[in-house]
Amino acid sequence: MKTIFTRVFVLLFLFPLFSKAQEIDSAFIKQRAAYFADSLDKAYQNKLWDQYVSLTQPGLIKFLGGKAGVIDYAERLWMVLNQDIGEKVSNQKVLQIVAKDNAWQCVVEKVKEVYYEDRKAWVTTYVVGKSEDEGNSWKFVEISEGMLINAREVMRDISDELIIPKRTVVYADDLKKQQDAEAAAAAAAAKKQQQQQAKKRVAKK
């Protein structure tokens, strides 16, 4: 009986420690994923193509015909997005990390500020990453149109648990109109409520 009690006590004592260790591991892995995703973006923005390729998923490198194909694609994309619409990443965060087959996978959200035809906009895209060294280093593939099928073409073992939202574009002037409309609706609702309360007070008299 004493032996059973001792075992139960040990399990109850160790379980919180194990859970805490898992939380720390997850936080570390998420932090590393964010760091490498940021490194990928900086390599792209500064046209450091060798570094950019080193942070790219091998499947995408093969899909684009090797290192030269990746660099050619990235250079053409950079010319269009940076010269024509002035693309720059304004915010980036890791949305999800999952474990699969002794590796880690993640989804990173990137919000890019752009100017298109004199209109300011925010484009939200998503990057899928994979780490095969316990989350220490990561390589990525960008889901340009938010379509999971694009990721599966270059990353065959992508986890079904990953949730990849669709690409979105929000224009600043449209957002302002929406905010103004919501503010007007809220003001109208508040005014209506005040009028109803005033009528109730009059009725009680």
pLDDT of residue 30: 94
pLDDT of residue 144: 59
- Within 10 angstroms of residue 102's Cβ, the number of other Cβ atoms is 7
pLDDT of residue 87: 61
Query: Which burial class, exposed, middle or buried, applies to 19 when counting CB atoms under 10 A from its CB (0-12, 13-18, 19+)?
Result: exposed
Query: Which burial class, exposed, middle or buried, applies to 141 when counting CB atoms under 10 A from its CB (0-12, 13-18, 19+)?
Result: buried
Residues whose CB is less than 8 angstroms from the CB of residue 204 and which lie 6 or more positions away in sequence, other chains included: none
Cβ atoms of 125 and 110 within 8 Å: the answer is: yes
Low-confidence stretches of the chain (pLDDT < 50) are: 2, 5-24, 145-147
pLDDT of residue 54: 96
pTM score: 0.70
SS (H, E, C) the chain: CHHHHHHHHHHHHHHHHHHHHHHHHHHHHHHHHHHHHHHHHHHHHCCCHHHHHHCECHHHHHHCCCHHHHHHHHHHHHHHHHHHCCCEEEEEEEEEEEEECCEEEEEEEEEEEEEECCEEEEEEEEEEEEECCCCCCCEEEEECCCCHHHHHHHCCCCCCCCCCCCCEEEEHHHHHHHHHHHHHHHHHHHHHHHHHHHHHHHHHC
